[in-house]
Structure 1
Amino acid sequence: MTLIRRLAGLGVLLLMLLGGLFMWLGNPYLWIRVTAARADSQGLTMGQALFIIVAIAITGAVMVKVLAVLNALYARTQGGSDEVSVRMPWNQSLRDGRTTGRQTSALDVVMVLSVTAALVAFAVWFFFFAHYG
């Protein structure tokens, strides 16, 4: 595989990771900020809450499609396969001799990494930066 293909694959993987982080962190933050900026009072109305939920769901669905397209682009840059050789610990048998029969795709790895990063970012914010009172 050529260096250009590897660099293109790495670039697509980075875009997928950024898209995954946006899906879990940026998407809710965006719609909460948009709703807060347009609010007349500090109280949250039922209509605003419904708007936030629907907007997050729609943006999430769009992000799923974008990530699927990026995954297909990654497969094309890597010669037609998006499978990566990562063996997740929860997919290993106790004897470690059997295979699970399912290949791990690049999108699987990116989603696990982005969800983990989002959870860590939320925990850091919650325990160190959130002020209540």
Structure 2
Amino acid sequence: MSSPAGPSAPSAPSAPSTTARAEAAFLVAVMAIGSVVMWVISPVAWLWIASRMTSSSQPSLGPYVLVLAGMALTAVVIGKGLGKVNRTHMRLTGRIGDKREARSWNKSMRAERGRTNDRGVLEQVMAVSVSCALVLFGIWFFAFAGSSLPS
């Protein structure tokens, strides 16, 4: 007979509330918008900034360096932010644990192999956004860009 003050059996995880689901959906939307900003808006913005710096069609090296450095720095900042949003989403949905796991290359060959590390939804969101950006670039390049060759 078990005592009333004794340890109870672990309860089954409850379904997330409507508020938690709405917050999780909002975070996925933030990740989608952030990835579009990283792959589309940031490069266009840096190209626009560099185009305003030069008055010639034969610019010096400066605007090219500005575009390259600006895009790289912006991508790192946005990527770090998206990682934080992804971790918040994983905590909210219960997909992240507080226990740190060793990477697969740092485990013993005899270690348990059954569990894979959950990376959250950011990986899928980024894959979809990159695919969309590539498709849109292809449409623009072949349909609207025109030829840069002399006629």
Query: TM (normalized to structure 2)?
Result: 0.70
Moved over 3 A (4+): 99-104
Runs of 5+ unmatched residues, structure 2 = 1-15, 98-113
Identity of aligned residues (%): 26
Runs of 5+ unmatched residues, structure 1 = 83-98
| Equivalence for 1:86 | none
Work out the CA distance in 2 between the residues paired with 1:26 and 1:105. 24
The Cα shift of 1:105 comes to 2.0
Is the partner of 2:96 in helix, strand or coil?
A: coil
Number of matched pairs: 118
Matches within 5 A, 1:1-133: 1-79=16-94, 81=96, 101-133=116-148
Work out the CA distance in 2 between the residues paired with 1:48 and 1:100. 48
Work out the CA distance in 2 between the residues paired with 1:18 and 1:125. 21
How much is the aligned-residue C-alpha RMSD, in angstroms?
Answer: 2.1
The Cα shift of 1:80 comes to 5.0
Query: TM (normalized to structure 1)?
Result: 0.79
Work out the CA distance in 2 between the residues paired with 1:129 and 1:77. 43
